[in-house]
């Protein structure tokens, strides 16, 4: 509970007003109980000499007898002054006033709670997305995207309902229950024994049902995350699913997860829905028993009929808040289970972060060095890189070639610190990159990947991605240099055309030229280039290659090469195999060696 309450801190003013409104609502609910008794006295008692004969106190409670005598004296005077019907009208008006106050402050409590609950949900989602952006790529090799989306949406929504439950259960229901109990103790301690018996019995039964709710809630949210993952994979792989006639296979896969979720949710809802009917049944059973026992006391002259009916009304005022309290308890348990899933992401360790002594770096003037670098992925049986040495001088181009899984992409991922080396050092201008500010380090680099990663936004915003100050002239100049201006101008709204999810409205070559324009606009001194032409047709490849040539001018570049013809003019070519550099040199010297590089060139020439 304390973990949930700490999120209220920025909204303590709204929370205080909501709590105050709930307290005032509870006050009016409690006041409505004793007000009912004189109404019943006036209504049921026959007229006497002075117009009405209020029944004399019959309860054995001395304190209540004294209070009842004063109340009777007051209303006797009221009846003598205004008459029976007029006095009844005054009491009715007071009843209406108390219930008006109750409902007014009920609305105000929700009015003040709304910005707090919505603000907390907004803050949680902001924190989740901020943490997801900070987490290293290694985290996402284990986490499912759909599950993360479920935590941002469904789990945070459960936390919102817990917020309502906390405020109501802490500020309103207990006070109503205590006030009603105080009145019942004052009227008849004997009758209250049965109420306590009911509460104890209800607490044992409902508490036993609720203990498993938190565990099942976490399980249900986890299964919802799995459903989200399958849906995300389905939407992302529709082309392959349809191409392989795998619609039924994918549907059955989704159906299995959906059925498991439905079963878990059914069990969860059955336990949650048991609270209200169970407490209502127990309440009715208790009321029936109280009617029998209380009627005996009325017949014996121990309490008046009006007092007994008022007692029953007070008891009713306990049943409903008790039901609300048990419902809030379920919501809080569900919310705490959801909060655990949210905080599992928020508390995930940041393996890649700035060191306390991190230094600024504003420019690149010397060289990039990989010094005896080794790296192993988590849960991997063998290292992805072993004892790699390489140096990239300013303005030089180093190309990485080799079979899939040789370690090319790993080297490219280590330079911007998407991962940290297991052994050795990577230095820029002589400084270990782990001692540089992460933001500054990545500001030195531009990345053009094999997969053109674009966003569901306009052409302009995709080119200027991350740079809100980019001038329209600079964006257009970058597009022209990337051979993209011509096709952009032909789009329905030019640079303001939305390109769809992942650039789905564009061809592969057009998407790739936009990513090159994005890198040109950033104008980084260091380029990481995962061969951007390997998946393009010949015409698109020529346009993209011409754009890449402009991009590479006067820049330090690390190029992953799939088509060896594109790196023949690199200053140095490294041939990797199983995480080791097995050959190095320029194109001509490697061909002359007649080793692995020559075989790769000959295979591609076939």
User: Is residue 595 pLDDT above 80, yes or no?
Assistant: yes
- pLDDT (0 to 100) of residue 482: 80
**Domain residues of the chain, as ranges?**
2-346, 367-605
Three-state DSSP class for residue 115:
helix
Q: Are 173 and 328 in contact (CB under 8 A)?
A: yes
pLDDT tens digits, 7-20: 778 888 888 888 88
- pLDDT (0 to 100) of residue 2: 63
User: Is residue 459 pLDDT above 50, yes or no?
Assistant: yes
Distance CA 536, CA 514 (A): 14
Please give the backbone phi and psi of residue 243, each rounded to the nearest 5 degrees, phi first: -65, -30
DSSP 3-state percent helix, strand, coil across the chain (nearest 5): 65, 10, 25
Distance CA 449, CA 532 (A): 6
- pLDDT (0 to 100) of residue 268: 75
* Residue carrying the six token digits 């303590």: 12
Decide which of 213 and 49 is more confident. Answer: 213
The 10 Å Cβ neighbour count of residue 581 is 21
| C-alpha closest to that of 370 among 401, 413, 404 | 413
| C-alpha closest to that of 224 among 302, 322, 154, 132 | 154
* Residue carrying the six token digits 């959801």: 338
- pLDDT (0 to 100) of residue 210: 56
Q: What proportion of the chain, given as a percentage, has pLDDT over 70?
A: 76
Three-state DSSP class for residue 399:
strand
- pLDDT (0 to 100) of residue 58: 41
Structure tokens at 554: 């006067």
Q: For the residues of 441-481, what is the DSSP string, one character each?
A: HHHTEEEE-SS----SSBHHHHHTTT-TT--HHHHHHHHHH
pTM (two decimals): 0.68
The DSSP symbol for 567 reads: G
Average pLDDT on 521-545 reads: 72
Distance CA 307, CA 45 (A): 12
Of the ranges 82-91, 444-453, 489-498, the best mean pLDDT one: 489-498
Residue 530, Cβ density class (10 Å: 0-12 exposed, 13-18 middle, ≥19 buried): buried
- Three-state secondary structure string covering 153-176: HHHHHHHHHHHHHHHHHHHCHHHH
- pLDDT (0 to 100) of residue 104: 92
With bands split at pLDDT 50, 70 and 90, how would you rate the model's confidence at 563? Answer: confident
The CB-side HSE value for 3 (13 A sphere, CA atoms) comes to: 17
Q: Are 450 and 544 in contact (CB under 8 A)?
A: no
| C-alpha closest to that of 462 among 471, 475, 474, 451 | 475
pLDDT tens digits, 271-326: 777 666 766 676 677 677 777 777 777 777 777 777 777 777 777 777 667 666 76
pLDDT tens digits, 341-364: 888 888 888 888 888 888 888 888
Which contacts (CB < 8 Å, 24+ apart) does range 430-439 have?
430/366, 430/369, 431/359, 431/361, 434/355, 435/355, 435/357, 435/358, 435/359, 436/358, 436/359, 436/360, 436/361, 437/354, 437/358, 437/359, 437/360, 437/361, 438/352, 438/353, 438/354, 438/358
Q: Are 414 and 352 in contact (CB under 8 A)?
A: no
Alpha helices in 56-155 (DSSP H): 62-82, 84-134, 137-140, 145-150
Strands 397-402 and 572-577: parallel
What is the third-level CATH fold of 2-346? ABC transporter transmembrane region fold (1.20.1560)
The 10 Å Cβ neighbour count of residue 211 is 11
Average pLDDT on 570-597 reads: 87
Phi-psi region of 378 (alpha: psi -120 to 50; beta: other; left: phi over 0): beta
CATH superfamily, domain at 367-605: P-loop containing nucleotide triphosphate hydrolases (3.40.50.300)
Distance CA 575, CA 91 (A): 96
Contacts of 73 (CB under 8 A, 6+ apart): none
Three-state DSSP class for residue 131:
helix
pLDDT tens digits, 46-95: 554 444 444 444 444 555 456 556 656 666 666 677 777 777 787 778 87
């Amino acid at each position: 509970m304390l973990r949930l309450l700490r999120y209220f801190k920025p909204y303590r003013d709204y929370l205080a007003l909501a709590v105050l409104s709930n307290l005032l609502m509870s006050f009016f609910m409690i006041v409505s109980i004793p007000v009912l008794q004189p109404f019943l006295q006036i209504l049921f008692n026959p007229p006497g000499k002075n117009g009405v004969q209020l029944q004399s106190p019959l309860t054995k409670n001395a304190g209540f007898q004294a209070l009842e005598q004063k109340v009777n004296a007051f209303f006797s005077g009221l009846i003598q002054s205004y008459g029976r019907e007029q006095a009844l009208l005054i009491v009715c008006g007071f009843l209406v006033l108390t219930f008006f106050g109750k409902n007014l402050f009920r609305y105000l409590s929700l009015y003040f709670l709304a910005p707090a609950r919505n603000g907390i949900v907004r803050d949680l989602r902001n924190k989740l997305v901020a943490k997801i952006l900070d987490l290293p790529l290694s985290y996402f090799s284990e986490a499912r995207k759909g599950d993360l989306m479920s935590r941002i949406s469904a789990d945070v929504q459960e936390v919102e309902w817990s917020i309502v439950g906390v405020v109501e259960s802490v500020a309103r229901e207990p006070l109503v229950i205590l006030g009603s109990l105080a009145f019942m103790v004052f009227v008849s301690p004997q009758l209250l024994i049965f109420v306590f018996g009911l509460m104890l019995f209800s607490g044992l039964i409902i508490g036993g049902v609720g203990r498993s709710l938190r565990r099942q809630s976490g399980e249900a949210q986890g299964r919802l995350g799995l459903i989200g993952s399958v849906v995300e994979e389905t939407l992302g792989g529709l082309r392959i699913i349809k191409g392989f006639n795998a619609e039924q296979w994918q549907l059955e896969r989704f159906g299995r997860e959906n059925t498991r979720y439905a079963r878990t949710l059914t069990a969860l809802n059955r336990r949650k829905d048991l609270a209200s009917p169970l407490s209502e049944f127990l309440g009715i059973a208790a009321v029936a028993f109280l009617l029998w026992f209380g009627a005996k006391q009325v017949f014996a002259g121990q309490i008046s009929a009006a007092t007994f009916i008022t007692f029953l009304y007070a008891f009713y005022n306990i049943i409903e808040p008790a039901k609300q309290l048990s419902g809030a308890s379920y919501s809080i348990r569900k919310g705490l289970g959801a909060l655990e899933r949210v905080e599992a992401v928020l508390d995930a360790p940041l393996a890649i972060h700035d060191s306390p002594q991190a230094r600024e770096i504003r420019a690149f003037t010397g060289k990039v060095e990989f010094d005896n670098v080794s790296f192993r992925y988590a849960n991997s049986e063998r290292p992805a890189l072993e004892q790699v040495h390489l140096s990239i001088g300013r303005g030089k181009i180093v190309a990485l070639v080799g079979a899939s899984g040789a370690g090319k992409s790993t080297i490219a991922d280590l330079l911007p610190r998407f991962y940290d080396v297991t052994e050795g050092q990577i230095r820029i201008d002589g400084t270990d990159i782990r001692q540089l500010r992460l933001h500054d380090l990545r500001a030195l680099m531009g990345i053009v990947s094999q997969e053109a990663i674009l966003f569901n936004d306009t052409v302009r915003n995709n080119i200027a991605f991350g740079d809100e100050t980019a001038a329209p002239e600079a964006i257009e100049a970058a597009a022209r240099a990337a051979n993209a201006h011509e096709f952009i101008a032909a789009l329905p709204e030019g640079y303001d055309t939305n390109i769809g999810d992942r650039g789905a409205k564009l061809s592969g070559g057009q998407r790739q030229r936009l990513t090159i324009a994005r890198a040109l606009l950033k104008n980084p001194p260091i380029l990481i280039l995962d061969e951007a032409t390997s998946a393009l047709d010949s015409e698109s490849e020529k346009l993209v290659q011409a754009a890449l040539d402009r991009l590479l001018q006067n820049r330090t570049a690390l190029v992953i090469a799939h088509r060896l013809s594109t790196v023949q003019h690199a200053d140095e070519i490294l041939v990797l195999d199983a995480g080791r550099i097995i050959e190095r040199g320029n194109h001509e010297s490697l061909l002359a060696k007649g080793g692995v590089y020559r075989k790769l060139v000959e295979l591609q020439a076939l």
